[in-house]
Amino acid sequence: MPAERLKSFNAALRRLPGFSVYILGFCPALWLFCLGLEDRLGPEPVRALEHGLGLWALRFLLAALAVTPLRRLARIDLLRFRRALGLLAFYYAALHVAAYAAIDMGLSFDAVMADIAKRPYLTIGMAGFALLTPLALTSNDWSIRRMGAEAWRRLHRLAYVAALAGAAHFLLAVKSLPAEPAIYAAVTGLLLFYRLFGGRRIAPRAP
């Protein structure tokens, strides 16, 4: 993208109100629930609802993790939206878990725990959700001041582990190996590779 156009693009992004990310971010969930109420989710509506919510959780998490690489490599500045993207990932993951626990398991705690222990993909997925929970609870300025910036950054590096768990959960949940979960796993691997090896070697560029 030419420098002048990139500058205008970043300026337009800065003018967007923060709450617009949440409004747009919840549109897929609203659409999925509307399809469910109209019985348009296919022959397995519960599975389709759970899959859709979980997939959007992974998408938002990967989008949040991609903010820094985009800023450094492509000079696209989405930094002010990273917190909203991360929280949307948690909200969708919570809806995904709630749909599973309420519709599939009838809110039976014993049945949920037994199913999680029995199925590895559920164990991994629940571990990823458990990792996201403290990140969502501390995604505020008060927590940064209370914990200190360095400790807060260390805690939020768990987002990469949560993304790996989400990608593995997606891969193991399908009976075959279609392209979609493999693509998400590859994107997760690339982001983790950048975090481990690329981020420290490439100096940030001014947006």
Per the model's pLDDT, the better-predicted residue between 205 and 120 turns out to be 120
Q: Are 52 and 28 in contact (CB under 8 A)?
A: yes
What is residue 41's predicted lDDT score, i.e. its pLDDT?
Answer: 93
**Reported confidence tier of residue 60, pLDDT bands at 50, 70, 90:** very high
List of residues 6+ apart from 194 with CB closer than 8 A: 69
Quote the pLDDT of residue 16. 85
Phi and psi torsions of 156, nearest 5°: -80, -5
pTM greater than 0.95: no
Residue 9 confidence (pLDDT): 81
Residues above pLDDT 70, as percent of the chain: 93
| 172-191 tens-digit pLDDT | 988 666 788 999 999 999 99
Of the pLDDT bands very low, low, confident and very high (cuts 50, 70, 90), residue 152 is very high
Q: What is the pLDDT of residues 14-57, one digit of tens each?
A: 888 888 999 999 999 999 999 999 999 999 999 999 999 999 99
pLDDT at 10: 82
